[in-house]
Amino acid sequence: MNLRNPKSKLLLGPGPSNADPRVLRALSEPTIGHLDPDFVKIMDETTDLLRYVFQTANQLTIPISGTGSAGMETAIVNSIEPGDKAIICVAGVFGERMVDVAERSGAVVVRVDGPWGSIVDPEDVRKAIKENPDAKIIGIVHAETSTGVLQPLEDIASMAHENGMRIVVDAVTSLGGVKVPVDELELDFVYSGTQKCLSCPPGLAPVTVGPRALDFIKNRETKCQSWYLDLAMISRYWGSERFYHHTAPVNMIYALNEALRIIKEEGLESRWARHQLNQQALMTGLEAMGMKLVVEPDYRLPSLTTVYLPDDADDALVRSRLLKEYDIEIGAALGEFKGRVWRIGLMGTNSTKGNVVTFLAALEDVLTSVGAKINPGVGLQAASAVYR
Ligand SMILES: *Cc1c(COP(=O)(O)O)cnc(C)c1O
């Protein structure tokens, strides 16, 4: 058996999501030198497209070599010097991870916690700022993939700036699916990943660096804690100097370039609307079947839906049958939600009416056959009504 010839599956979990076929073809184009003049043109076009998707004029807008987590680490090590104070908002796994990364990078971390399945309250952030006026950054997750919450950023961004702090934003599961208002809110450092709403395989972490954050990078007193992720050096490769730092993952940059072109062809606004509509249909179908959504309506993340398991459904059994019988992957939950909640992603290329309908039908079939308490025969109807 050839293990490395996997069949194609529908990836409706928290990531990776399916890569667009055009992106996979781009990956297989001939590898050329990372300083080849032809490659340099592709780099320039890719950063232009990234600025479009991030809606920013930030010059330093580039893909970091590594997955979304490398984006997080890049953001942190390029935003603080050891001993600096960082206020980090935590309402799920990725906020928790940002705390860990910040502590390992030498930050003195002040946590602001929110309940799982909800937002971090801006009033709690205000209090933390008041008690810690010497903090340098506020770290926050825009789209918390462990809970399905979309965190509003407006108030927290303006509080940060009024108090001379920079805001560092995790947009791994929002970029390309949900509006990320980088310049509108003057977000100082935003990072993402290729494998969620950009519909590209895992492997790159787009980042964008605003003027305040760039100023910090240029004037810091100590060297960046990480050699590999030091933007002062990496930016010399992506800028006009083309100074060698590390070999760019050439084919992944082809793939990202194609993924970004696809987004531009569709247009950001249409893409956000598509994510919203398909999630609406999915949620309506799940609710009609009798299931309860985790997040209250105001804070639902269009690219990832969290739902409580119906009574008498076995988490692992249902997910494994969806995978075995239908080639559909959905996500288990983590932390406080483990075993009680499913995470259903409709990200990028995967956010389609066809996938919503296919998934609801498959889920109903599996749930019925395991004897779970659901209302059969109504999920699909309710979902299709949303499209009419
Ligand atoms: C997936 C994810 C990450 C980590 O990305 P990897 O590609 O797994 O390294 C970070 N933050 C959020 C919010 C995510 O959803």
Looking at every residue in the chain, the average pLDDT score rounds to 97
Supply the pTM of this predicted model.
0.98
Ligand 1: atom nearest CA of 205 is: 7
Beta-carbon contacts of 365 under 8 Å, excluding residues fewer than 6 positions away, are none
pLDDT at 57 over 90: yes
Mutate which of 11, 67, 192 to test ligand 1's pocket (most atoms within 8 Å of Cβ)?
67
Is the pLDDT reported for residue 1 higher than 80?
no
Question: Ligand 1 centroid to 12 CA: how many Å?
Answer: 15
Residue 380: what pLDDT?
A: 96
**Alpha helices, DSSP H, located in 132-189:** 154-162
Residue-wise pLDDT tens digits, 98-139: 999 999 999 999 999 999 999 999 999 999 999 999 999 999
Decide whether any atom of ligand 1 lies within 6 Å of the 146 Cβ. Answer: no
Question: What domains lie within the chain, and their CATH numbers?
Answer: 21-265 (3.40.640.10), 267-387 (3.90.1150.10)
Do 295 and 306 form a contact (C-beta atoms < 8 A)?
A: yes
Query: Atom of ligand 1 at shortest distance to CA of 146?
Result: 15
pLDDT of residue 4: 87
- Locate all alpha helices (DSSP H) within 55-190, ordered by sequence: 68-77, 93-104, 122-131, 154-162
**Of ligand 1's atoms, which has the minimum distance to the CA of residue 72?**
10
Residues 15 and 173 sit within 8 Å (Cβ to Cβ): yes
Nearest atom in ligand 1 to 171's CA: 13
What's the pLDDT score for residue 48?
98
Task: Judge if the beta carbon of residue 182 lies within 6 A of ligand 1.
Answer: no
Residue with tokens 């080849």: 36
Question: pLDDT at position 274, please?
Answer: 98
Q: Residue range 216-242: average pLDDT?
A: 97
Mean pLDDT of 269-279: 98
Q: Helices (H) and strands (E) in the chain — how many of each?
A: 13, 14
Measured from the CB, is residue 193 less than 6 Å from ligand 1? Answer: yes
Quote the ligand 1 centre to 385 CA distance (angstroms): 33
Quick one: pLDDT at residue 2? Answer: 83
pLDDT at 113: 98
Q: Which residue owns the Cα nearest ligand 1 atom 5?
A: 68
